[in-house]
Amino acid sequence: MSEVKAAGTDKASLPTADGRFGEFGGCYVPETLVTALKDLGEEYQRAKEDPEFQNDLAFQLKEFAGRPTGLYFAERLTEELGGAKIYFKREDLLHTGAHKINNALGQALLAKRMGKRRIIAETGAGQHGVATAAVCAKMGLECVVYMGAVDMERQKLNVFRMELCGAEVRGVDSGQKTLKDAVNEAMRDWVTNVRDTHYILGSALGAHPYPMMVRDFHKVIGQETRSQILEKEGRLPDEMVACVGGGSNAIGLFYEFLGEPDIRLVGVEAGGHGIVKGEHAARFEGGRLGVLQGCKTYILQDKDGQIELTHSISAGLDYAAIGPEHAYYRDIGRIDYGYATDDDVLEAFQLLCRVEGIIPALESTHALAYTIKRAPQMERNQIIVMNLSGRGDKDVNQVAKFLGQDV
Ligand SMILES: *Cc1c(COP(=O)(O)O)cnc(C)c1O
């Protein structure tokens, strides 16, 4: 096992040149996109090694997005739970309210570099759409966001925020009218307009080079965390926790620490109403290997390969596939995965508001629910770092409804 682990955590080598993390990942797309993805991968490689691109990105992350984000000691929550010291990486304090802007900025700069003036994106809850719309407004790029009709109705405020930033939001009426269908539509647009259009995909998902590229744009989260925890505690944490939708905020935090075998890494999926077919979005609880929207990974599907319905209290975790890099690290045992149910999340949400004065995104609250259970099982001299991936302003109406309150 330790040999496998050592090989698997040789992170510099992953993914392979054809985009594989072990048997996961790859590039399963229509022929018309093969060249576009190859060009994108090559341009990204050049940008990555170009100090001017990296400096530009670092500058925008600081000035526009608000990096570095703090590493915050949750003193009252730690006292309340009576176990390990709990720290939050405060991605919730970024511009537009979540980690998503790290990736949106990186990809928009890349699009400009490639001379593409038109941006398309998909969005579920709207957070990635809002981040992309804001970045496009800032950079003077045209922006079209695909969003399922059901999600548009659920997240009206985010639709309006995107429109305020000058984006066109196109409703998608096919399928379940949610995220998966929006991705299909965005890919269709890209096939047609690939010459002048860049597709800013919102998570560590899809065909190569997206999972790698999105990860790289978020790994600043873990890099900052390393120096911040060393400054505050003089050592690295014992455990790190993040919620996993497609997996971008989690891999952004974890990547820096994959080669630290003493740190336990835990991803938390959406357990919804519990692990019953159609009632959750925990891909590692009942998902099977398959191909969805460009990559091979764990997918919630029936025996005929039809994608199963998913459910989560948080739209941002409500997706049938998980990023291929997570599938790989789960298989080799480097990252552990658990899940939190909607009920766990509602309780954790209220506790954090009450004892710390922080209103977390429902997505991030999945990681919090796990942390709340885990911390008391650990010693007081141990340390947990949790990624607080976003703020909960977008979710307060929904929480009020669940609690039977009229706001
Ligand atoms: C979109 C979102 C997520 C889920 O996406 P990942 O790619 O898994 O990070 C998590 N938290 C917040 C706040 C989000 O907006």
- Active site annotation includes 100: yes
Closest approach atom of ligand 1 to CA 248: 7
CA 204 to ligand 1 center in whole angstroms: 10
CA 382 to ligand 1 center in whole angstroms: 27
CATH for 19-62+100-214?
3.40.50.1100
- Active site annotation includes 356: no
Structure tokens at 396: 């307060």
Residue 127 Cβ < 6 Å to ligand 1: yes
- Topology of domain 66-97+219-402 in CATH is Rossmann fold (3.40.50)
Q: In what order do the strands lie in the sheet with 264-272?
A: 71-73, 85-90, 383-388, 239-243, 264-272, 335-341
Q: Which of 92, 163, 177 is nearest to 134 (CA)?
A: 163
- Active site annotation includes 142: no
Output the CA angle 130-110-137, nearest 5 degrees. Answer: 35
pLDDT at 8: 44
pLDDT at 315: 86
CA 232 to ligand 1 center in whole angstroms: 27
Q: Return the SS3 of 25.
A: strand
Closest approach atom of ligand 1 to CA 391: 13
Residue 404 has phi, psi (to 5 degrees) of: 70, 30
pLDDT at 2: 38
pLDDT at 319: 92
CA 249 to ligand 1 center in whole angstroms: 6
**How do the domains of the chain map onto residue ranges?**
19-62+100-214, 66-97+219-402
- Rounded-to-integer distance, Cα 168 and Cα 92, Å: 25
pLDDT tens column, 233-247: 999 999 999 999 999
- pLDDT by residue for the chain (407 residues), tens only, comes to 333 344 445 556 899 999 999 999 999 999 999 999 999 999 999 999 999 999 999 999 999 999 999 999 999 999 999 999 999 999 999 999 999 999 999 999 999 999 999 999 999 989 999 999 999 999 999 999 999 999 998 889 999 999 999 999 999 999 989 899 999 999 999 999 999 999 999 999 999 999 999 999 999 999 999 999 999 999 999 999 999 999 999 999 999 999 999 999 999 999 999 999 999 999 999 999 999 999 999 999 999 999 999 999 998 998 999 999 999 999 999 999 999 999 999 999 999 999 999 999 999 999 999 999 999 999 999 999 999 999 999 999 999 999 999 88
Among residues 89, 100, 219, 394, which one is catalytic?
100
Question: Which protein residue's CA is at the shortest distance from atom 14 of ligand 1?
Answer: 316
Domains 19-62+100-214 and 66-97+219-402 share a fold: yes
Pocket test for ligand 1, best of 158, 205, 243 (most atoms within 8 A of CB): 243
CA 250 to ligand 1 center in whole angstroms: 9
Q: Return the SS3 of 298.
A: strand
pLDDT at 405: 92
Among residues 85, 89, 116, 122, which one is catalytic?
122
Q: Return the SS3 of 241.
A: strand
pLDDT tens column, 324-334: 999 999 999 99
The full 3-state SS of 77-100, as one line of letters, equals HHHHHCCCEEEEEEHHHCHHHECH
pLDDT at 407: 82
Question: Which protein residue's CA is at the shortest distance from atom 3 of ligand 1?
Answer: 316
